[in-house]
Amino acid sequence: MKPAILVVDDDEVMRQTLSDVLKKKGYAISTAETGGQTISSVKEHFFDLILLDIRLPDMDGLDVLKGIKEIESDLMVIVMTAYSDVQTAVMAMKSGAYDYIDKPFELEELKILIQKALETQNLKNEIRQLRRQGKEKHEGIEIFGNSPLIKNVMELIEMISQTPRTSVLIQGESGTGKELAVNAIHYRSKRVNKPLMKINCSAIPENLLETELFGYEKGAFTDAKGTKKGLFELANGGTIFLDEIAEMKSYLQTKLLRILENQRFMRVGGEREIVVDVRIIAATNKDLSALVNGGQFRKDLYYRLKVMVIEMPPLRERMEDILPLGNLFIEENNKELGKNVTGISEAASEYLLNYQWPGNVRELKNIIERAMILSNGKEILPDHFPIELRKGQMEGLEDRTSDTEDLALETVEKKHIMDVLMMMDGNKSKTARMLGISRSTLREKLKKYSIAAA
């Protein structure tokens, strides 16, 4: 979407020149002649930047500037001042102008200033996005696997990336890679250089969710001293990911439906419509059609989202991906942790292949990570797996405990220590406390059993 600029000047030649030049630069230009027009225009439309002549026939330019900021506190305004009127320039900056330019000016100079302003605006948005993502590590975009099921998903993603406006619904159990699919779509699409905004609808209280998504206008509620842009505006040109969409309350579903239909919405407490160009990707691990039947999810919204559906297959339905994925995670961790684990032993592989993976790929990833922490040697052995994985196995293989060696007290102790250590994420103090022994006793035992705890 082209950046939208409002050019305000009472001089017709100036207005015309500026709009011609800026249109050529690829901006969407609107114009206004008076302060009154400017204010009503800002109330009705959405602009990325305003180029404001400070000398207007009907109003003091500074008042116009203040008026704009009242409506939209973080709107970028570049003020055009008369040559050597330093005082007005200073006042304008104090009133929240981004910058000023003296008339007469070189068009080239103005173009650079505008570009800088828009970049600053983008940067601000990006910073807010990064803050939102918080500690999240750099995110993967490569979907890995050779099974026909996952190959299908990859093909679908490839196709969807080419249609940057289509909304997408991703369904799948926890840990199947729904978010990974979102990243893959966004970063392969034309929207790659625009923001990818993510929000988990179940993690945020209802009323906050609304303002997070749609922003608010000044005075929308008691605390709303200024205006705030919502994620839909911040994601403009890019993608918004609505995770756990099933948790969204009905009136928000309605608002979402409107955006899907005509790309328009209003901020909370607002009266003007804002137009955005955003691809919406929603995900859920619930059965949405069941929720529709039960009346908890809007049918029209469901059908609107359902146009393009990706079903992330559970790991147990694509067993052939388990070991290759396991080896991929070993490789990644070797690099990251400076380890040198060579692979998964045959016996350990058996365990992985016989497990049902309720937590899917995420569970596999965690189990491999933990096993690598525990494995002293070069290979991952069954001993390095947590109890639930081995338990599932034992049910299948009737009588493992008849193996006398496994009953030796020391073997049991070793396994127990490793299980607790894993449960505590490798934290030795917590593990010792849990086991009811001192840290130094734990250390001795770890040494005795050659358990390498990171």
Ligand X SMILES: Nc1ncnc2c1ncn2[C@@H]1O[C@H](COP(=O)(O)OP(=O)(O)OP(=O)(O)O)[C@@H](O)[C@H]1O
Distance of alpha carbon 195 from alpha carbon 187, whole angstroms: 10
* Contact code string over 267-296 relative to ligand X, x by CB under 6 A: ------------------x-----------
Of the candidates 95, 121, 306, 107, which has an alpha carbon nearest to the alpha carbon of residue 195?
A: 121
Three-class DSSP category at 279? strand
Q: Does 187 bind ligand X (CB under 6 A)?
A: no
Out of ligand X, Mg ion, none, what residue 362 binds, judged by CB under 5 to 8 A for its kind, is: ligand X
Distance of alpha carbon 175 from alpha carbon 358, whole angstroms: 9
User: Count of alpha carbons within 13 Å of 39, Cβ hemisphere only?
Assistant: 16
**The dihedral formed by the CA atoms of 105, 111, 115 and 118, expressed in degrees to the nearest 10:** 70
Please state the closest distance from residue 178 (CB atom) to Mg ion, in A.
5
Positive or negative torsion for Cα 317, 319, 320, 325: positive
Phi and psi, residue 119, nearest 5°: -65, -45
Of the two residues 176 and 393, which places its CB atom closer to Mg ion in the complex? 176
> What DSSP string describes 52-69?
EESB-SSSBHHHHHHHHH
Q: Does 174 bind ligand X (CB under 6 A)?
A: yes
Token pair belonging to 369: 């990570």
Question: Which listed range, 172-180, 325-333, 391-399, 401-409, lies at the site for Mg ion (CB under 5 A)?
Answer: 172-180
Helices marked H in 240-386 — which ranges?
Answer: 250-262, 288-293, 299-305, 322-337, 346-354, 360-374
CA triple 125-128-134, angle to 5 deg: 145
Out of ligand X, Mg ion, none, what residue 358 binds, judged by CB under 5 to 8 A for its kind, is: none
* Contact code string over 128-167 relative to ligand X, x by CB under 6 A: ------------x--xxx----x-----------------
Of the two residues 182 and 421, which places its CB atom closer to ligand X in the complex? 182
Please state the closest distance from residue 179 (CB atom) to Mg ion, in A.
4
Please state the closest distance from residue 145 (CB atom) to ligand X, in A.
5
Of the two residues 39 and 281, which places its CB atom closer to ligand X in the complex? 281
Of the two residues 51 and 170, which places its CB atom closer to ligand X in the complex? 170
Q: Does 172 bind ligand X (CB under 6 A)?
A: yes
Q: Does 179 bind Mg ion (CB under 5 A)?
A: yes
Check if the beta carbon of residue 279 is closer than 8 Å to that of residue 191: yes
Please state the closest distance from residue 419 (CB atom) to ligand X, in A.
23
From 89, 113, 180, 201, residue interacting with ligand X (rule: CB under 6 A) = 180
Positive or negative torsion for Cα 136, 228, 234, 200: positive
Residue 118: left if φ>0, alpha if ψ -120 to 50, beta else—which one?
alpha
Long-range CB pairs of 402-410, under 8 A, 24+ apart, other chains included: 410/449
Of the two residues 27 and 241, which places its CB atom closer to Mg ion in the complex? 241
Token pair belonging to 179: 């978010």
Check if the beta carbon of residue 45 is closer than 8 Å to that of residue 5: no
Q: Which helix (H) or strand (E) holds 158?
A: helix 148-161
- State the residue for tokens 């630069």: 25
* Contact code string over 362-391 relative to ligand X, x by CB under 6 A: x--x--------------------------
Please state the closest distance from residue 271 (CB atom) to ligand X, in A.
37
Which residue(s) pair with 49 in the sheet? Answer: 5, 76
What is the separation, in whole angstroms, between the first and last Cα of the chain? 49
* Contact code string over 82-121 relative to ligand X, x by CB under 6 A: ----------------------------------------
Q: Does 326 bind ligand X (CB under 6 A)?
A: no
DSSP state of 238: S
Please state the closest distance from residue 362 (CB atom) to ligand X, in A.
4
Of the two residues 179 and 247, which places its CB atom closer to ligand X in the complex? 179
Please state the closest distance from residue 134 (CB atom) to ligand X, in A.
15
Which residue(s) pair with 197 in the sheet? Answer: 240
The site for ligand X, by CB under 6 A, has a size of 17
Of the two residues 95 and 285, which places its CB atom closer to ligand X in the complex? 285
Question: Which listed range, 17-25, 30-38, 78-86, 176-184, lies at the site for Mg ion (CB under 5 A)?
Answer: 176-184
Positive or negative torsion for Cα 290, 296, 297, 298: positive
Give the residue nearest to ligand X (CB). 177
Please state the closest distance from residue 196 (CB atom) to ligand X, in A.
13
From 33, 53, 72, 179, residue interacting with ligand X (rule: CB under 6 A) = 179
Question: Which listed range, 79-87, 88-96, 173-181, 210-218, lies at the site for ligand X (CB under 6 A)?
Answer: 173-181
Binding site for Mg ion (CB under 5 A): 179
Residues within the interface to ligand X (CB under 6 A): 140, 143-145, 150, 172, 174-180, 285, 361-362, 365
